[in-house]
A and B are shown apart, each in its own frame.
Chain A
Amino acid sequence: MSWIVGGTVIPNFGTGSKCVTGNHVFCWDWVRQHWGDTLGPALVEHIELTAIAVGIGFALAFALALVTHRYGFVEQPVGAISALLYTIPSIALFQVLVPFTGLSYTTIEIALVAYTLVILYPNIVNGLRSPTPDVLEAARGMGLTQRQILLRVELPLAVPAIVSGLRIAVVSTISIATIAALIGPYGLGSPIYVALREATPFKTEIYSAGVLAVGLALACDAGLRLLRRVLAPWSARRLA
């Protein structure tokens, strides 16, 4: 067959230009041809995977942080579990979930949500603690109730820390989600994984999917930094 050159099978070869069949460094024509059936859908899936994970993770982390802020007692155990989860490799966590939820989208999301939760929770808790005692004293002196203090003082002042946490969570999730392709054919990891399984890895597919993943992460990072500047223009700039 025309697309087999020197025993190399090119994935998603299409009509296979010379560049593609020869596995040159980068073939724009392959990218153009397979944007519609490979790269585009993978990018959309990747955004979906990330959005669902960060969305659920944020809701859980926010609820947990409010409980912690009010009652305090859950912080120790949650902190210990977080530190442990942080060190667990995602590739192992994905696999250990397989007996429970199978090689499924659910397995991927459970692992991703767990990691976002671990990142967001401490950031939100710390953010809620950012008002100094003076500020809280003043708020109480003005006659604000506990609930009013939370809504009008503590939450607004927590915004920079929360958005910083979101930045780390989103970028990390985009990165881990590429590994999820080991569990199922979802996201930008999937074309990379397919390209790697060839006898000679197909460069264009690896590079294009890789650039999309890194580009997505950097774009989200920049977007969230902008969001922080809009929501909390007073916040000082600090490393990550």
Chain B
Amino acid sequence: MTLADTANLHTFVEAVRFIGDNPHLLLTKAFELLELAAAALGVALAIALPVGVVLGHLHRGSAVAEGASIVGRALPSLVLIAAFLTILGIGFVNNMVALAVLASGPILTNSFDGIDRVDPDAVDAARGMGMTGSQILWDVELPLALPQLFAGIRVAAVTVVATAPIAAIAGGGGLGDIIVNQASYRLSGVIGASLLVMLLSVGVYLALVGLQAAVTPAGVRRTRVGGDPQGKELV
């Protein structure tokens, strides 16, 4: 083994030791991160989901949905966080708004696309049975579009959790605080926190895949869970 190899290995040993030595700090920071992510996801869901669902139901505004997916992908998270910081100041609200904007893209695109592309025969049959527009939306379109709605939420959730550490650059708190502050926590702390952030996002991803499988109606389950969401986004 060369010297460089042992040094690399040593850094990771140190990182794991850092995690073991600071359980309280890391738990607090991880909780802060999840709090921020949950708030942002909540805001995004409250705004983007109804808009996407209604537009999809009316089969209108595909330009809006496509635009949201293109612009959502083109907006770098760092730019968004920095720009909101100049408007809203350092802190929770700024980061929450920036993350909510990021999360809105995939939620809007997928909810629109999912509802818009429900089999027209199914909708026709429902209308023939005398169902009203809102009944069709609740009892036919939403259940059938559920896998894709959830795929959008999953992408948004992973995006938010993965972007939240970047918010630390703008005083966001959370595990990102440690990642961007090598001066105080040394490389071992930075790597330790990075490893935890990775675990956290993979955990959130897996939890949502599980939740999606659990809430998908049996009749829709033929559609592959996990799906291929629109507007997948990297952070």
CB pair B113 A192 closer than 8 Å = no
- State in angstroms the CA–CA spacing of A86 and B204 once bound together: 13
The answer to whether the Cβ of B86 comes within 8 Å of any Cβ in the partner chain is yes
- In B175-212, the 8 Å CB interface with A consists of 176, 179-180, 187, 190-191, 194-195, 197-198, 201-202, 204-205
Contact of A239 among B11, B113, B163, B191 (CB under 8 A): B113
B92 at the interface (CB under 8 A from A): no
Contact, CB under 8 Å: A172 / B86:
no
Q: Which of A73-89 contact B (CB under 8 A)?
A: 84, 86-89
CB distance from A184 to the nearest CB of B (A): 13
Segment with Cβ contacts to B, from A10-18, A28-36, A147-155, A214-222: A214-222
Size of B's binding interface in residues, CB under 8 A: 51
Do A239 and B62 touch (CB < 8 A)? yes
Q: Which of B39-71 contact A (CB under 8 A)?
A: 62, 65-66, 69-71
Decide yes or no whether A168 CB sits under 8 A from chain B.
yes
Contact B70–A87 (Cβ < 8 Å): no
Q: Is the CB of B7 within 8 A of A221?
A: no
Interface centre among A99, A176, A196 (most CB of B within 10 A): A99
| C-alpha gap A179/B74 in the complex (Å) | 14
A122 to B39: give the CA distance in the assembly, Å: 33
Chain A residues 49 to 63 lying within 8 A of chain B, measured CB to CB, are none
Contact assessment for B162 and A168 in the assembled complex, using a CB-CB cutoff below 8 Å: no
* Contact stretch, chosen from A1-9, A127-135, A199-207, A226-234: A199-207
Give which listed residue, B8, B83, B169, B195, contacts A92 with CB less than 8 A.
Answer: B195
| B194 with A91: CB separation less than 8 A | yes
CB distance from A12 to the nearest CB of B (A): 16
B125 close to chain A: CB less than 8 A: no
Given A99-B11, A206-B86, residue A178 in contact with residue B194 (CB < 8 A): no
Q: Within 8 Å of chain B (Cβ to Cβ): is A157?
A: no
| A98, A193, A207: most-surrounded residue (chain B CB, <10 A) | A98
Contact A213 B79, beta carbon cutoff 8 Å? yes
Residues of A within 8 A of B (CB): 84, 86-93, 95-96, 98-100, 115, 119, 168, 171-172, 174-176, 178-179, 181-182, 189, 192-193, 195-196, 201, 203, 206-207, 209-210, 213-214, 217-218, 221, 239-240
Given contacts A119-B234, A175-B75, list 16 more A-B pairs with CB under 8 A: A86-B234, A89-B201, A90-B234, A91-B165, A100-B8, A172-B234, A174-B76, A179-B166, A182-B180, A206-B82, A207-B83, A213-B79, A218-B74, A239-B69, A239-B113, A239-B230
Binding site for A on B (CB under 8 A): 7-8, 11-12, 62, 65-66, 69-71, 73-79, 82-83, 85-86, 109, 113, 158, 161-163, 165-166, 169-170, 176, 179-180, 187, 190-191, 194-195, 197-198, 201-202, 204-205, 230-235
